[in-house]
Structure 1
Amino acid sequence: MTVTAVEAPERPAHRDPNVLRWLGAYSASMVGDSIYFMALAWAAARTGSASGTGLVLAAGSIPRALLMLGGGVLADRIGPRRVVIGSDAARALLVLGLAATLFLTAPTVGVLVAVALLFGAVDALFLPAVGALPPRISTPGQLGRIQGLRGLAARGASIVGAPLGGFVVATGGPALAFAAAGVLFALSLPLLLSLRIRPLPEPAGGTAEAQGASADSGRTPNAWQDLVDGLRYIRRHPLLGPLMLVIALSELGFVGPLNLGMILLSDQRGWGAAGMGWIVAGFASGAAGSALLLAVRGRVPRAGLVMCLTALVGATGIAALAQVPSVALAAAAAAFVGLVGGLAAALCGALVQTTADPAYLGRVTSVSTFFTYALIPLSYPVTGAAIALWGTGPVYAVSAAVCATGGAAGLAFTALRRAELPR
């Protein structure tokens, strides 16, 4: 009698201790980030210089823009876990050192700018590596669920971190807030050290050019050629190239109106900080809802098609935000944008992680992260100037059109339109 081996069922990500350890470390880091930025803003304001405050808050974006792609190369070369552990340790030491300095002396613009630059440089290493880590701790079939869990952690960190940072600043000043952020960065280290890392699987396939690029990557002698090789791999890949185009256009149309634009819109309508808070809460609740949906379901059929359609539908919500007459309707519109936009972003991240050759995942993640965290924030001055010239309505309409163009561009590519997540 022949005995047929029965394959053990795949453990869901939300029940996998390895994934939960990563999620705990990621959550602690994200809450620490929120507290850090709150403390940095207040410490900069205490210097008494408006121009200096702006310089401090903008300084961190410069090294992120310059070094983000290099962070992806480093993650592929030495492994994402090592980069995440090293960067979190560096962030902890840097922020705790600043806390100790501020306990002894008043903040100065020079010290704060130096810390912001160093923190931004470390962030440029941390962000691509943390995005490349999920495929190394779970199976491909669970990556959609992990993206949902990651989205929940990010939204939870925003909801908890900002009020907690404000409370700590009010209680003990920026020095105590920096100390709290540093402790949270340090708390993530034992969890990261305990992660079990899966070996790199075989390349998933793709075009002959992509496979040839993968083979060439083993022969590149330096980091610059590794970076060029990674960019060439993305450009030649039938799915990753279109995905990067969708990410760039969607973020360009999304980030400015939903961040800087919301502040200016609330001010113009007389809704004040309280109204702004309700709108942000609406967006966060919608985004948390989409993350929860993906975390529970784990897989959305026709993921590429759904991603493009939700980007298109979300664009209508962006345009509507500038036209609604009340805070309640604006919060409802923001919740709608958060729901569909959050689902599109999570599916996009899952498709990136399941499609890319694992040997290239750090570089691929660094390109997608570059648009979100480094390049797009540089559009804030343009958004502000455009709203000052033409008002919120036309600027939101143009932003919605750009976001919709991203979804429409995705639909134009057959490989992306038919893309599926692994079962």
Structure 2
Amino acid sequence: MLWLAGILVSLAGNSVFYFALGWAASEHGGTVAGLTLSAITLPRVLLLLLGGAVSDRFSARRVLIAGDAAMLAFSLILAAVAYHLGAPPVLLITAGIAVGVVDAFYLPASGSMPRRLVGKERLPRALSLRQIGGQVVNMGGGPLGGVLVGLAGLAGAALVNAVTFALTLTVLVVVRPRHHVPPTRASSLLKDAMDGVRVAFSHPVLRPGLCLTGAAAGLLLPVLPLLLPLLARQEQWGAGATGLAIGAQGVGMVAVTAVVVKRGPMGRPGLLSASALVLAGLGVLALALAPGVAEATAASLVIGSGNGMFSAHIAPLILTATPESHLSRVQAVLVLVQSLALLLMNNLLGTLADLEGPTVVTVACATMLVGAGLLGLTSGPLRKDRTGLPPRSDSVSTPNT
């Protein structure tokens, strides 16, 4: 619980800081805003596999401590510079690069920590609890960031971020993994990184699990932030109605995840993950064809339920199926798959929506989501995996003769 509290504090600081960075960049126009966001994403994508290899070789906890210490120092320097110079483009882009580089090492290490801290049987509940906390933090991060930026600008947001990094650093110094994982000892970090890719895509459960994750990232995650506003403008629903539909998605996601926190997995995680994409795809189809705000809100609730079911079961499935020697490297592959799918599809779907209209594109997303879920159900190892479930007794007693 102490580690979870530290992670949520860090997420809150990041949420506020990302808002402040984007807001400051928008003052200089779309080009600078795009460059600032790309400055975060590009180094993160380029260095993720290396970051996972470093974490597996030198200890995830040490990587997290080093990352928090580096961002604490950088945030303090950024706060001082922004206080005196404001927020010129070069400072914003430099900040984006720093965040992206640290994220490339921090995210794989952080993603592997639950497996190092709790037993496999407790992973689904632990990850679901983190997901609920993250949802709550994200919902409050934007408004809090807006208030803070209005009062103190980028310098104030950087200072608050520094405080959260200091708190998280303190937690990491105190918390120690309960399950020791021996470090890797390969000939080079590059070979370590490539071995992570090999393991991830040769494993009978990890391979289809990662493919489903990529499908969700590319076809489901862009629907509400990208396609729903376009649909709303086309149908003239207004900003308030659009916000209500987005909120319904969050309610559905948190509700399903809360059930997993309380009762544990709902069933076989691979089977439910694939089925969840089918459910979410049907919700996306209903959203595309919704005649009014009430129907769109109901559809968003279904989307959130499917998304929550998917996230609550696919994350522990992948983390538990990963060999202990490759925990951070497979997490790096997972983040890379999500990042590349999201980067590609955000741009592609936006362009297609301009050409064909948002309704056609949303229907296409729904169709491909349902197809991906059904394809996932054809994978025997994924469908039959019982991660997080009590052992099944197949033995039948026979009377003595």
Q: How does 1:335-350 map to 2 (within 5 A)?
A: 335-350=301-316
For residue 263 of structure 2, what is the amino acid of its counterpart? Answer: R
Q: Decide which moves more: 257-266 or 144-153.
A: 257-266
Q: Which of the numbers 363, 368, 379 marks the counterpart of 1:413?
A: 379
Whether 1:141 aligns to 2:121 is yes
Q: Which of the numbers 64, 69, 74 marks the counterpart of 1:94?
A: 74
2:23 alignment partner in structure 1: 42
User: What do the CA deviations read for 1:53-103 (whole angstroms, capped 9, x no partner)?
Assistant: 222223211111111122211121112222222222222322332222111
User: What do the CA deviations read for 1:211-262 (whole angstroms, capped 9, x no partner)?
Assistant: xxxxxx9562001111222222222211111111111122211122232223
**In 2: Cα distance, 1:92 partner to 1:332 partner:** 42
Q: How does 1:303-382 map to 2 (within 5 A)?
A: 303-382=269-348
Q: Decide which moves more: 188-197 or 137-146.
A: 188-197
Q: SS in structure 1 opposite 2:317?
A: helix
**In 1: Cα distance, 2:158 partner to 2:184 partner:** 42
For residue 62 of structure 1, what is the amino acid of its counterpart? Answer: L
Distance 1:194 1:113, change over 3 A: same
The answer (yes or no) to whether the contact 2:116–2:181 under 8 Å persists in 1 is no
For residue 34 of structure 1, what is the amino acid of its counterpart? Answer: S
Structure 2 unaligned residues grouped into runs of 5+: 391-401
**In 2: Cα distance, 1:415 partner to 1:378 partner:** 29
1:5 alignment partner in structure 2: none
User: What do the CA deviations read for 1:267-289 (whole angstroms, capped 9, x no partner)?
Assistant: 33333432332222111111111
**In 2: Cα distance, 1:119 partner to 1:21 partner:** 24
For residue 191 of structure 1, what is the amino acid of its counterpart? Answer: V
TM-score normalised by structure 1 residue count: 0.87
Q: How does 1:18-417 map to 2 (within 5 A)?
A: 20-47=1-28, 49-200=29-180, 220-417=186-383
Deviation at 1:318, TM superposition (A): 1.3
The answer (yes or no) to whether the contact 2:127–2:315 under 8 Å persists in 1 is yes
Q: Decide which moves more: 67-76 or 348-357.
A: 67-76
Q: Decide which moves more: 311-320 or 178-187.
A: 178-187
The answer (yes or no) to whether the contact 2:244–2:297 under 8 Å persists in 1 is yes
Distance 1:397 1:143, change over 3 A: same
Distance 1:90 1:279, change over 3 A: farther
Q: SS in structure 2 opposite 1:133?
A: helix
Q: SS in structure 1 opposite 2:222?
A: helix
Deviation at 1:374, TM superposition (A): 4.5
Q: Decide which moves more: 329-338 or 389-398.
A: 329-338
**In 2: Cα distance, 1:187 partner to 1:276 partner:** 36
**In 2: Cα distance, 1:179 partner to 1:330 partner:** 40
1:212 alignment partner in structure 2: none
**In 1: Cα distance, 2:216 partner to 2:336 partner:** 13
2:393 alignment partner in structure 1: none
Deviation at 1:415, TM superposition (A): 0.6
Distance 1:219 1:94, change over 3 A: closer
Q: Decide which moves more: 174-183 or 334-343.
A: 174-183
For residue 257 of structure 1, what is the amino acid of its counterpart? Answer: V
For residue 90 of structure 1, what is the amino acid of its counterpart? Answer: A
For residue 317 of structure 1, what is the amino acid of its counterpart? Answer: G
The answer (yes or no) to whether the contact 1:246–1:409 under 8 Å persists in 2 is no
Deviation at 1:347, TM superposition (A): 0.5
2:396 alignment partner in structure 1: none
User: What do the CA deviations read for 1:374-412 (whole angstroms, capped 9, x no partner)?
Assistant: 442242221111100111111111112222232122211
Distance 1:189 1:218, change over 3 A: closer
For residue 49 of structure 2, what is the amino acid of its counterpart? Answer: L
**In 2: Cα distance, 1:167 partner to 1:328 partner:** 31
Identity of aligned residues (%): 31
Deviation at 1:201, TM superposition (A): 6.3
The answer (yes or no) to whether the contact 2:215–2:341 under 8 Å persists in 1 is no
**In 1: Cα distance, 2:70 partner to 2:385 partner:** 38
Query: RMSD in angstroms over aligned alpha carbons?
Result: 1.8
Q: Decide which moves more: 193-202 or 377-386.
A: 193-202
Deviation at 1:299, TM superposition (A): 2.7
The answer (yes or no) to whether the contact 1:64–1:374 under 8 Å persists in 2 is no
Q: SS in structure 2 opposite 1:107?
A: coil
User: What do the CA deviations read for 1:141-161 (whole angstroms, capped 9, x no partner)?
Assistant: 100001110111110111121
**In 1: Cα distance, 2:99 partner to 2:116 partner:** 26
User: What do the CA deviations read for 1:16-52 (whole angstroms, capped 9, x no partner)?
Assistant: xxxx1111011011111110111011111233x3322
**In 2: Cα distance, 1:262 partner to 1:61 partner:** 24
Deviation at 1:315, TM superposition (A): 0.6
